[in-house]
Chain A
């Protein structure tokens, strides 16, 4: 009897035990699961990268065979893209969107549960193929994360079918997540919050969700064509049967390029939340930020073939894709200039989230510069498929996307847990991460320009020095993330109590809620003026 009365008083109705997580329809619990899933995958994908870097420490084969090396690069790429960056952003969306728009939860909570719980299955399948490979039972996917046909179809290992099923599951998960985001933003905004009053993080996720809905089905289509090519005698990508291997690349990159922006637009949103907070000044050019994000999203659909300049497309095609790609520099530049103008004449302080945000602006811009260089077709012929490209996309994805996620975790962790994280350790984590990331990735520009192709397990002697330096950076980077793990666990367990506002310059509905935020966020919608 007592228990019933007590339960009645508990407004959260929080289920307990394993069931709380398995059957959860709560945006915070699901967000937490997404983030821990992403964190786990980050360590797995990172471990694979460390084996790759260890093999590349010096010329010659010391640790792995070339066949296994290819499996490592493939799984590293797939895990980091689909298992780390994307789920982390979905986790952040789950935690933040309802709080930021003044809603009690996501609009479609049961679907939310299902879209998360598909992921462990998807990655279980993918990782099972690696485990089987380690046990000597055939090869894991070994064709690179871009899985070009016919290497992945006619010549793919048996585990390719695991891979295909896994990608289908990830795709369904992402599309459901995206539908949920759109439904939430369209329907659950607090009264008075018009579209042009939404926080930028909400805007960037809104646009990202449309990108996801547009391109994940394309990815599903291309893997389905692979499936029928491999198992049911079709020849979509088999030249011997009248198919076209280049069409694979067109379809893949029609998904792949918007995918790149799926992994960076939410990061823009995060940086646009953090920079004004620690500058104690409103975001500069709110509406131009929104329009720039929308322009980038639109342009992302018409630049896909810049990944394919060496496939021998007609000159007119090369020119079109070069010009279209150059245009992306404009809205991206606008964003960077806006962030800097936000900082300009502010009153800056440099807590860990701000440090990561500033590093993001510096280093993402580096990736932007190399991106601009890569779109220049005559020069791209020399850069294509070299370490220059590897350097480029690690600058945008690691020091870009991943840094923004770390910034976001430090920024909102006090709101989520009610405790402040350990600032000293956070700063230590930042400096180690930031310096080692550059030691790791910057030399890749040099070896790439000197002519080292990507995805090779062994290399000519002239590339040795910079590869050694990169490997040193990689290990420092990798082990520094254990500090991050420790800081997060320590903060979850306790620490100095956070205020409701958390940061002196914080703005937004999530900072009007108590810390930690109540289980059902806003049960009564706040009024936005």
Chain B
């Protein structure tokens, strides 16, 4: 008995002593789109029907438990059949179910209608980040979780949007029907923004669709909802809805920035530039598996610190990063990153954590290896 009460008391203390955390959301939120509103409405209908049935059924049962007891000298009846009630409790549930199916069907049909959209964004799941491609706009980018490892490891105070923050937010215009196209580069992921009521699997070899029309400007957060490997819990989604004007300004900026980044591949970089850019890019694209200190995760992801590849032949190292290793978790980063990023990462890997090879890899080397 003591073994049971002790942790209980301890836990009560912990709960009581935690005033910073005070968010007891109990129910689904209505969200900001007609789809999420539909989901919320049907959820409320069905839940309350269940609550009412529950009260009736549990009520009858509780009454029987309290009254029809041997302790109260209740004489047991002997009946074991009654056709009328059996028909009743088959027919009434059927009617209730029909009552639920009608609104469910009409909401579903509205939700699945992706026609007449104003724009499309292609969403591709990667282990463990999202790639967004504004179809026809020449804007595409990766979106990685930006919560620092120190917060996850309890070494720093956790921020307000802990685990639900990214480096590159996707922006959509308000009032427009935005169609999302989902696919995956590796395993199955699921793109879920609760406030939109959109949850769709991103499946390799498939293109799934969904849509959202957001009227309220704001920042909306979600997460991957399908187990996709070790960092499944760390691939959030952040969508910012802006007025059309602001959206177009953002799109213009994004285009300019992307053109500049592509141009950076044509110049020759210094060692310092490569190392500092390399550290950032490595932490974004590589550290999830190989870890910030390059030590990898034994048994799952190899170390780069002191590895034969990172201190050996440069060409082999470039090839692995650019083309990946088939049949392993090592993705081909060639299609994901530009020449400058790749050159900086490879240089960084060859010189950080005591891998002091002194080698420098230029964007032109990467381009030649593609």
B224 — which chain A residues lie within 8 A by C-beta? 453
A432 touches B (CB below 8 Å) = yes
At the interface, yes or no: B136 with Cβ under 8 Å from chain A?
no
Which of the residues A358, A378, A386, A464 comes within 8 Å of B42, measured between beta carbons?
A: A378
Q: A151 at interface (Cβ–Cβ under 8 A)?
A: yes
Q: Indicate if the CB atoms of B97 and A326 lie closer than 8 Å.
A: yes
Please indicate the chain A residues that have their CB under 8 angstroms from the CB of B315 in the complex: none
> When each residue 48-79 of chain A gets 1 if its CB lies under 8 Å from chain B and 0 otherwise, what string results?
00000000000111100111001000000000
Query: Which of A29-37, A86-94, A333-341 interfaces with chain B?
Result: A333-341
Residues of A in contact with B, size category = 35 or more
CA distance in complex: A471, B11 (Å): 9
B367 CB–A CB distance under 8 Å: no
Contact B77 A376 (CB under 8 A): no
Q: Which of B24-32, B247-255, B265-273, B276-284 binds A?
A: B24-32
Question: Is B232 on the interface with A (CB-CB < 8 A)?
Answer: yes
Report the Cα distance A240→B107, complex, angstroms. 35
Contact of B200 among A282, A285, A286, A310 (CB under 8 A): A310
Given A310-B201, A378-B104, A329:B93 Cβ within 8 A: yes
Interface flags for B186-208 (1: CB within 8 Å of A; 0: not) read 11101010100111110111101
Q: Is the CB of B50 within 8 A of A369?
A: yes
- Tell me whether A282 and B80 are in contact (CB under 8 A): yes
Report yes or no: A245 in contact with B204, Cβ–Cβ below 8 A.
yes
Inter-subunit contact A143/B158 (CB<8 Å): no
B27 contacts which chain A residues (CB < 8 A)?
446, 449
Assuming the contacts A60-B158, A347-B74, A382-B199, asked whether A465 and B233 have C-beta atoms less than 8 A apart, the reply is no
CB pair A279–B76 under 8 Å, yes or no, is yes
- Determine the chain A residues whose CB is within 8 A of the CB of B300 once the complex forms: 67, 139, 157
Number of interface residues of B (CB under 8 A): 113
B28 touches A373 (CB 8 A): no
Q: Which of B21, B89, B104, B232 contacts A455 (CB 8 A)?
A: B232
Check: B4 CB closer than 8 A to any chain A CB: yes
Contact B205 A245 (CB under 8 A): yes
B24 contacts which chain A residues (CB < 8 A)?
446, 465-466
Chain A nearest CB from B97 CB (Å) reads: 5
Does residue A244 face the partner (Cβ distance < 8 Å to B)?
Answer: yes
Chain A residues positioned under 8 Å from B227 (CB to CB):
70, 143-144, 148, 151, 385, 454-455
Are the CB atoms of A348 and B163 closer together than 8 Å? no
- Pairwise interchain contact B43-A379, C-beta atoms closer than 8 A: yes
Cβ of A330 and Cβ of B97 under 8 Å apart?
Answer: yes
In the complex, are the beta carbons of A349 and B71 less than 8 A apart? yes
- Return chain A residues, CB-CB under 8 Å to B39: 378-379, 381-382
Flag B70-112 by CB within 8 Å of A: 1 or 0 each: 1100111111111001100110011001001100110111011
Q: Given known contacts A66-B233, A449-B28, what 17 new A-B pairs fall within 8 Å (CB)?
A: A148-B187, A148-B188, A319-B108, A337-B89, A343-B64, A346-B64, A348-B65, A362-B58, A373-B43, A377-B108, A386-B225, A453-B233, A455-B227, A456-B233, A465-B24, A466-B24, A480-B4
Could you give 26 example pairs across A and B, Cβ below 8 Å?
Answer: A143-B227, A150-B188, A154-B327, A239-B204, A245-B206, A312-B182, A319-B108, A326-B100, A327-B97, A334-B86, A341-B85, A349-B70, A365-B58, A369-B53, A369-B54, A372-B50, A372-B100, A379-B46, A379-B104, A385-B190, A385-B199, A453-B192, A453-B225, A456-B233, A466-B24, A475-B11
